Amino acid sequence: MFRDAKVGDKVWRPTSNGNGEWGEISKVHSISEATHGIYVRFDGGERSFTARGCEIGFDGFPAIFWAPVQLPPLPTRPKRKVKKTVEGWLNVYVNPYWNACFHLERDEADRNQIGCNKRIACVHVTGEYEVEE
């Protein structure tokens, strides 16, 4: 793919923001499938590629191209609604400014009563809600 690459040639690579960027070949040391001898200068610095356009660590997939390519969008997983349940213990108090306090365990509710408020009851509560996953 890049066997005829020369210093000064322009190449394009896709970027994570989806826009892609142009770079310029700055050095050509050796052109082969096994070595990363084609050096390209991009705005973020210089990177090396093989004759197939592969970057170090990604030898199975070309990372540079002679012209912009439109990559297909990633498939989206359909969202599904999942029912979740939460349960615990609710300390109910006389004070209208601090009238309830939620705890996951009954013994935790008994240990963590608010001292200045008189507890009326400790009630087991269950709640359900749906979220998209």
- Report how many helices (DSSP H) and strands (DSSP E) the chain contains, helices first: 1, 7
Which fold, 1-73? SH3 type barrels. (2.30.30)
Q: Which residue has the higher pLDDT, 1 or 115?
A: 1
Q: Measure the CA–CA gap between 22 and 98, rounded to whole angstroms.
A: 61
Q: Whole-angstrom Cα distance, residue 96 to residue 100?
A: 9
Q: pLDDT tier at 44 (50, 70, 90 boundaries)?
A: confident
In tens, the pLDDT along 72-114 reads 777 888 888 999 999 999 988 887 677 788 899 999 988 888 7
User: Predicted confidence band at 52 (pLDDT cuts at 50, 70, 90)?
Assistant: confident
pLDDT band at 133 (very low <50, low <70, confident <90, very high): confident
Per the model's pLDDT, the better-predicted residue between 19 and 28 turns out to be 28
- The structural domains of the chain, with segments of one domain joined by +, span 1-73, 81-132
Q: What's the token pair of residue 114?
A: 């608010």
Residue pair 45/4 in contact (Cβ under 8 Å)? The answer is no
Residue 34 has pLDDT above 70, yes or no: no
